[in-house]
Amino acid sequence: MLRINTELNPPYSPYIKDYINSPNAIAVQIKCDNSAIAPLQISLCIVMENTTGLYLKTKTPNNLPKWMVTPGKPLMLYGSDLKGFFETENLSFTGITPGHYHNRGLLPGGFYKLSFAAYDTNGKLISIEEQPAHAWFILNKAPLITSPKNFDDIYLGENKRFYFEWAPRHDRVSGISHIEYHFQMVEVPCNYEGDIEPVFHTLPAVFNKVTTGTSLLIDFSQVPLSHGHRYAYRVQAKAFFGKHESKIFENQGYSAIHVFNYKGHCTAPDIVRIKIVAEYAVEFTWDRHPEANRYTVLYRNMDTRKWERKDVSIPYLYLDNLQSNAVYEYKIRSYCQNYPSRYTDTYTFSSSYLNKTNRLK
């Protein structure tokens, strides 16, 4: 009697090539403990079945390898040794078409049993003690882009940097050493209005980056983007078992594609007038930025260190309750959507008279 022990090691990918190419992803131990018999030449038959009715079995006859089993010396076989057992021409199929299996190399998700039977040189089934492998084969969802949203307008602040963020949607995968995210950005032609997905890979690349994090801070001073142009980006997740990539994601790990309009810098406002309206009150007005939706004014008495803050949605601010005969300094920034401009330079005024030498023109 032979003992055949079949093991599948995580991650449990439904891509068959993972078990052929990845070291130790599949291991089969064949052992004969009866030292009284001579070495035995055997052939093997693989059986794969799941709970939904899929059934794959090695065809006979075939040109698959044969092995010698010597009593007391276990025979170990791994993915590269068993490659032929997963080839389409060597399998009979129930519950899946040979074409689907051959073209995609992908099994349907589900709970699988994988086992081997042994035959002698006359094609007779050998009595075995079998320990099959059991595993869930599943594909995980690709990352979900969270920021910026699709068709957002992107403005840059004074630091010229912007965060792109995404959320993983895979479960904790046993056996995976690390996951990489491949960020890809392309420029969309000005006159193109069709679906981006089929042509994404043909568009001119402007930025590529690999990271193990779930966000990427891009310094746009180093990326050649043009004001008013459209750009598209996506993230591809890749899982690794050591140095070997394991295909555990749907859609080859690609996220959806997001498009954004690059608006360049949100500019700081021009202050056009500051007016003392009372001994303890002052009025600011400034030019509205065409795309600004709010403003922040910082001001403080120069005898203190703490800045006071006022947020307004119109290019106007009235301040009262100022201290008499005090000197104040102030600065203003715009917001285009949620993207801030730099602050203006810092200027001063007195609560009793306007410091004309520091007025912004």
User: What pLDDT shows up at residue 361?
Assistant: 36
Q: What percent of the chain has pLDDT over 70?
A: 96
- 191 pLDDT band, cuts 50/70/90, is confident
Q: For 271-358, which CATH superfamily applies?
A: Immunoglobulins (2.60.40.10)
* Record: fold of 141-265: Immunoglobulin-like (2.60.40)
H/E stretch holding 58: strand 55-58
CA distance 46 to 119: 11
Q: Is the pLDDT of residue 267 over 50?
A: yes
Section 252-265 average pLDDT: 92
pLDDT band at 257 (very low <50, low <70, confident <90, very high): very high
Q: What pLDDT does residue 41 have?
A: 92
Query: pTM of the entire structure?
Result: 0.71
Percent of the chain scoring above 90 in pLDDT: 55
Structure confidence at residue 356 as a pLDDT band (50, 70, 90): very low
Answer whether 141-265 and 271-358 agree in fold: yes
The answer, yes or no, to whether residue 286 has pLDDT greater than 50, is yes
pLDDT 10s digits, 144-180 = 999 999 999 888 766 678 899 999 998 767 778 889 9
Strands 258-265 and 152-156: parallel
Please report which confidence band the pLDDT of residue 353 belongs to, taking 50, 70 and 90 as the band edges. Answer: low
Residue 359 has a pLDDT of 42
| Residue 197 predicted with pLDDT over 60 | yes
What is the spatial distance between Cα 279 and Cα 350, in angstroms, rounded to a whole number?
9
Amino acid at 44: L
Residue 279 clears pLDDT 90, i.e. is over it: no
**What kind and span of H or E run contains 263?**
strand 258-265
Q: Is the pLDDT of residue 55 over 60?
A: yes
Higher pLDDT, 356 or 259: 259
Distance CA 234, CA 254 (A): 7
For the chain, which residues make up each domain, given as ranges? 2-137, 141-265, 271-358
Mean per-residue pLDDT of the chain: 89
pLDDT band at 38 (very low <50, low <70, confident <90, very high): confident
Per-residue CA distances from 246 to 110, 124, 223, 272, 324 (Å): 18, 37, 32, 61, 72
Tell me the average pLDDT across 249-269: 91
Picking from 253, 338, 249, the residue whose alpha carbon sits closest to that of residue 296 is 338
pLDDT tens digits, 116-142: 999 988 889 888 898 999 998 888 999
The answer to whether the CB of 311 falls within 8 A of the CB of 338 is no
- Mean pLDDT on 271-282: 82
CB 183 within 8 A of CB 209: yes
Token reading at 93: 């199929």
Distance CA 15, CA 12 (A): 9
Question: What pLDDT is recorded for position 285?
Answer: 93
Q: What is the pLDDT of residue 270?
A: 84
Answer whether residue 36 shows pLDDT above 80.
Answer: no
Q: If you average pLDDT over residues 6-29, what whole number do you get?
A: 87
Structure tokens at 214: 């779930």
Q: What is the mean pLDDT of residues 90-99?
A: 94
Average pLDDT of the segment spanning 91-107: 92
Among the four given CATH numbers 2.60.40, 1.20.272, 1.10.10, 1.10.530, the one describing domain 2-137: 2.60.40
H, E, C per residue of 163-200: EEEEEEECCCCCCCCEEEEEEEEEEECCCCCCCCHHHH
CA dihedral 299, 301, 303, 308 (to 10 degrees): -50
